[in-house]
Structure 1
Amino acid sequence: MHLEIPVDPDAPEARRWLQDELAKGEYQAAQPTWFDRLMAAIRDWFLGLFDGSMGVPSGVVVLIVVLAVLALVAIGLLVFGLPRLRRRRATPAPIFDDRDTRDLVALRRAAEQAAARQEWPLAIEERFRAVVRGLVDRDLVQVHPGTTAHGIANAASHRFPAFALELGVAADEFDGVRYLGRPGGRDEYKRVTALEQSLAAAPIRPDVELEAVR
């Protein structure tokens, strides 16, 4: 008959056995992670604020809570709001009623290429579209379905009163070649081009709010 002899380790031996046992995987997996400990510390800190154990005045507690909420809102905007805003900006809004979403560079290039071929109606039309795109991209006017060239000109004249006459003339040129079958010409194209370049460089009146096209 085999009898097990009881083991009675001394203190150092028992400590080593305990360390070896706790080093096993099942014990390590059960320990809280650094993130768990951080969240627990933050939770205990907030609970200490509310139960008064930290001796913080109630007014300060309210201020801390408000600042924490504002910080969370700011983080949410940075994480979720700005990317969406950038995506909206990445796709230009359509101008007029033909779903034209080309950017300013593309419209200028199209106007210059048409002018090089002496296709003046198309060149004038594309250059006026560049005028509109420049205004919309700078948030100087708002467009919607049904927007007309003269509606754009009237709204932009509030931002640039010194160019009110030129804006009206450019709108006439656009309507003439697009809807009335006018041939246009080099001089008309140069006028619309000069307007587009002048508006791009002109200072904005700071006392006028965003104009919605009527």
Structure 2
Amino acid sequence: MLSRADADVPVDTPRIPAREAAERELSKPMYHENDPNLLQRTLDRFWEWVGGIFDTASTVTPGGVLGMVVILLVVVALVGALWWRLGTPRPTPTTSDSLFGDRPRSAAEHRTAAEAHAAASRWNEAVQERMRAVVRSLEERTLLEPRPGRTADEAAAEAGRSLPAHTAELRAAARSFDDVTYGGRTADQRAYQRLKDLDRVLERTKPQLSSAVRGPAGGTAE
């Protein structure tokens, strides 16, 4: 028979086995039926993190939360103003400054494209296509040897050897092409008309025989 003193002594369960028993009990599915899923827990932690950032910022910003909101609105307004002023960023060309694209076209095709752009007052594109027409026409007349990757400046310099009387006009045309293609300049009707006039003059011009480009057989191009 137990004495009264023995009955008053509490049962002393070891700490570690008790904790393990509690963990086993709480790990049963019945206790986790209403727990949020992994995505919900991730979102909850993310918003807690964002809230912590705002709380920290509000404590160091003059005016607290209201001051922070004002600063954010100012930043958004500045970004919007820069976007409106600079426009949508355009990808920077990664290729060389070659005059022609990947698909070769005839001088007549370039002239047709140039006239279509000019009719729509797209002067930049009109200047580009007319310069391509000038160079392609010289290649078709064998005054220039067709060479992939040639730049407008190189074409003007090479053409000037067989057409020395038009060296200045050719260089000016190359500068116009480079200005609108790589320099961010805007062409106008006058710039296009100069190129168009040069194209027509060169079509009627005969090269100097002493400096003309020689063909594959060694003859002189006419």
**Range class of TM-score, shorter chain:** 0.5 to 0.7
List aligned pairs for 1:1-214, cutoff 5 A. Answer: 96=99, 98-210=101-213
Distance 1:187 1:209 in 2: 31
C-alpha distance 150-122 of structure 1, shift in aligned 2 (>3 A): same
Higher relative contact order (CA 8 A, sep 6+): 1
8 Å CA contact 2:118–2:126 kept in 1: the answer is: yes
- CA displacement, residues 56-81 of structure 1 (integer Å, 9 cap, x when unaligned): xxxxxxxxxxxxxxxxxxxxxxxxxx
Max Rg structure:
2
Deviating runs (4+, > 3 A) in structure 1? none
- Structure-1 residue corresponding to 2:88: none
- CA displacement, residues 19-40 of structure 1 (integer Å, 9 cap, x when unaligned): xxxxxxxxxxxxxxxxxxxxxx
Q: Report the RMSD for the aligned CA atoms in angstroms.
A: 1.8
Read off the aligned partner of 2:173 and give its amino acid letter: A
TM-score w.r.t. length of structure 2: 0.50
SS at match of 2:127: helix
Q: How many residues align?
A: 118
C-alpha distance 104-97 of structure 1, shift in aligned 2 (>3 A): closer
Q: Structure 1 residue 145: deviation in Å?
A: 3.1
Read off the aligned partner of 2:157 and give its amino acid letter: N
Distance 1:142 1:182 in 2: 30
- CA displacement, residues 32-56 of structure 1 (integer Å, 9 cap, x when unaligned): xxxxxxxxxxxxxxxxxxxxxxxxx
8 Å CA contact 2:124–2:186 kept in 1: the answer is: yes
Read off the aligned partner of 1:199 and give its amino acid letter: L
Q: Structure 1 residue 180: deviation in Å?
A: 1.2
Q: Structure 1 residue 102: deviation in Å?
A: 1.1
- CA displacement, residues 104-127 of structure 1 (integer Å, 9 cap, x when unaligned): 211111000100000000000000
